[in-house]
Amino acid sequence: MANSSPIDPSDPLIGKVVDGCVLDRKLDHGSTTSHTYIATHTDLQKSFTIKILDPVQAQSGDALQRFHREAQSVARLDHPNIASIQNVGQEHGYYFIRGEFPDGENLETIIKERGKLPWKKATYILIQAANGLAHAHSKSIIHRDFKPESILVSDDLKVIKLMNFFLAKQISQATRVSVTGQIVGDPHFMSPEQAGGKETDERSDIYSLGVTYYYLVSAVKPYNGRNPQEIFLKHFFYTPESPKIYTPDLPQEVCDVIRKCLKKKKLERYQSVDEVTNHLLQILATHSD
């Protein structure tokens, strides 16, 4: 199960009813703009996620636009590795998105609690999440927030659901940063072009996928710093050391995939998620013993 008790029991929203669901506990710390809760539908007695836009942020047209964009984006997606949306609306002054709640935990929490994953298990999980990402790309939607916290995994590590399309955008959209000029996203997993406020595309998600893969097999984030600006500079100029330093038995082929995903120039990366997954499947087949 996801967290069995609230992360913040003093949260004033715990116990409130939104869209017919009682908010039971907070799934994660969310961001400065929204928080996600696990909620129980009072009639169906079924669990859902309820993402609620922070009331202060709701006064910002930029934040509200991104919130609606997530709902519109995910509503167009239909894939077994993407958590589906059930409803979206406004109630009691709260903007909300109610979504599917697959029983499980996000990868960030799993790594913090268990440490790095065996590389084959990490590869299997990444392929499933990447399949969901590829489906989004086929609908001309890029995620822009692909990271371990956006991947929900069942207790047996077999059911994988990609979540958190809050920063998703149409590939054809010209928007590069928020209208306020703020760069949004997790600095640790952000591509250099996104960190630099430049135009993003499918290859930006591929970069984030590579950072995530590195983290899953090593439990170390390849780009760290004392503040977001320092992390951004490392994305621009720093080549991380091989994850084999942290996981000596890691096949060199896995390191090669990660290194190609993390190329600074988009043209030097894999050009599609399918290229990544096909390469990973070949590696798994080679190491099938």
The catalytic residue positions are 145
3-state secondary structure of 68: helix
What do you get for the CA distance between the two ends of the chain, in Å?
31
> Please, what is the Cα angle at 168 between 163 and 173, to 5 degrees?
165
3-state secondary structure of 174: coil
- Own/partner long-range contacts of 53-59 (Cβ < 8 Å, ≥24 apart): 53/94, 53/95, 53/96, 55/93, 55/94, 57/32, 57/33, 58/94, 58/95
- SS3 for 100-161, per residue? ECCCCEEHHHHHHHHCCCCHHHHHHHHHHHHHHHHHHHHCCEECCCCCHHHEEECCCCCCEE
Give the other-Cβ count within 10 Å of 36's Cβ: 23
Q: How far apart are CA 218 and CA 41, in angstroms?
A: 39
